Amino acid sequence: MSKKFNVAIAGATGAVGVEMIETLEKRNFPVNELRLLASARSAGKTLKYNGKDIVIEELTENSFKNIDFALFSAGGDISKQYARAVVDSGAIMIDNSSAFRMDDSVPLVVPEVNAEDAFKHKGIIANPNCSTIIMVVAVNPLHKAKKLKRLVASTYQATSGAGAKGMEELEIQTRQLLSGEAIEPKAFAHRIGFNLIPHIDVFQDNGYTKEELKMLNESRKIMHCPDLMVSCTCVRVPVMRAHSESLNMEFEEAITPEEVRAILQSAPGVKLVDNTAAREYPMPIDASGLYDILAGRIRQDCSRTDGKGIDMFISGDQLLKGAALNAVQIAELFV
Ligand code: A2P
């Protein structure tokens, strides 16, 4: 019989946590025992896995005995607090937070791009930022072919990126605004219903936000290109769960839209949706619930004459490939 693994999910009740449970189930991950961990508020409640009720336990330092993989999605502070306990227990921590991503001793992994890095772990493997994962899955195959030099990205990020409370806020505010009620922003700095907010994570001295700098630093680390130039504007939009990105890419060599389509047609984790005559292009409603990143609106950058620029639009499910699916795929590398 093939080996089965004991898996813990810290933050099991959160927006990403519940997708982790479902992804393990849907992909038939060889689970022996599944341990669901959250705060004391959730202890004693149950969540379903493969049709069975599993009682949620309070996350403590003793939660990881006999665990093989500990998937964390309960925020950076919780990851930092429990990392030592996970590593000492002998489990591999797959951490969805930003706590360890830029740590030189921690691999930052998107299996379609740099699976080999995962095997250099010393107990912790980091799951990258959601917008970064979605971007590198589509961009790395082009980088491999024509060497990417510069990337300018604008994101259209769903409320799921702020967790269950972000999605709930969009739903509540939409109802309240349509019925003329007063609204009170909580999860976001401003109203998100019928609005967009060019502010995700905290502002830095250079005018960028931390989210924008994550896309720069993490994409360099994942794609192993320390000199890549990246500039981003990250925007929260009133979309429930899939992130979209407008990408302007400059390559070392000339590249045509036809070449881009041919490369992405066979790229793992990418689905080409690029038939403008039929009004087919990536949209968050179509990307929601999918494992693949949708790529389309592929065209030559008309602002340059050297044929080295490409524009493209992508959409990907933030909770799946941007978080839960990527984490489960990392665990699958060891199965
Ligand atoms: P709980 O539901 O018990 O609060 P989201 O990103 O959707 O907001 O989810 C955050 C996840 O992190 C939830 O599962 C939440 O559990 C969990 N969490 C938050 N604070 C703690 C904590 N102090 N200890 C353990 N889990 C926590």
Domains of the chain are 5-127+323-333 (3.40.50.720), 132-318 (3.30.360.10)
| Cβ atoms of 220 and 128 closer than 8 Å | no
For the segment 134-162, the average pLDDT, to the nearest whole number, is 98
Question: Hey, whose CA ends up nearest to atom 14 of ligand 1?
Answer: 11
Nearest protein CA to atom 4 of ligand 1, as residue: 39
- CA angle centred on 155, ends 152 and 161, rounded to 5°: 140
Q: For 246, list phi and psi in degrees, rounded to 5.
A: -100, 120
Confidence band, pLDDT 50/70/90 cuts, at residue 81:
very high
- pLDDT (mean) for 17-31: 98
pLDDT of 26 higher than 70: yes
- H runs (alpha helix) in 27-129: 76-89, 111-114
Give yes or no for a contact between 235 and 241, defined as CB atoms under 8 angstroms apart.
no
The pLDDT value given to residue 86: 98
d(CA 294, CA 123): 33
Q: What percent of the chain has pLDDT over 70?
A: 100
- Work out the end-to-end distance of the chain between its first and last CA atoms, rounded to an integer number of angstroms: 13
Mean pLDDT of the region 203-226: 98
Residue 10 has pLDDT above 90, yes or no: yes
Phi first, then psi, for residue 54 (nearest 5°) are: -115, 130
DSSP state of 183: -
Q: Which pLDDT belongs to residue 2?
A: 86
Name the residue of 78, 95, 127 to mutate for ligand 1: max ligand atoms within 8 A of Cβ.
Answer: 78
Tens digit of pLDDT for each residue in 239-267?
A: 999 999 999 999 999 999 999 999 999 99
- The answer to whether residue 133 scores a pLDDT higher than 80 is yes
Q: Which of 190, 234, 243, 302 is catalytic?
A: 243
| Average pLDDT rounded to a whole number, residues 315-331 | 98
Instruction: Give φ, ψ of 315 to 5 degrees.
Output: -140, 140
Whole-number Å distance, alpha carbon 157 to ligand 1 midpoint, is 21
pTM of the predicted protein model: 0.98
Q: How many CB atoms lie within 10 A of CB 256?
A: 12
The reply to whether ligand 1 has any atom less than 6 angstroms from the CB of 159 is no
Closest protein CA for atom 3 of ligand 1 = 39
pLDDT value for 1: 66
**Is pLDDT at 293 greater than 90 in this prediction?**
yes
Q: What is the rounded average pLDDT of the residues 181-193?
A: 97
3-state helix, strand, coil in the chain (%, to 5): 35, 25, 40
* Contacts by 22-28, CB closer than 8 A, 24 or more apart: 22/324, 23/320, 23/324, 23/325, 23/328, 24/49, 24/328, 25/49, 25/50, 27/328, 27/332
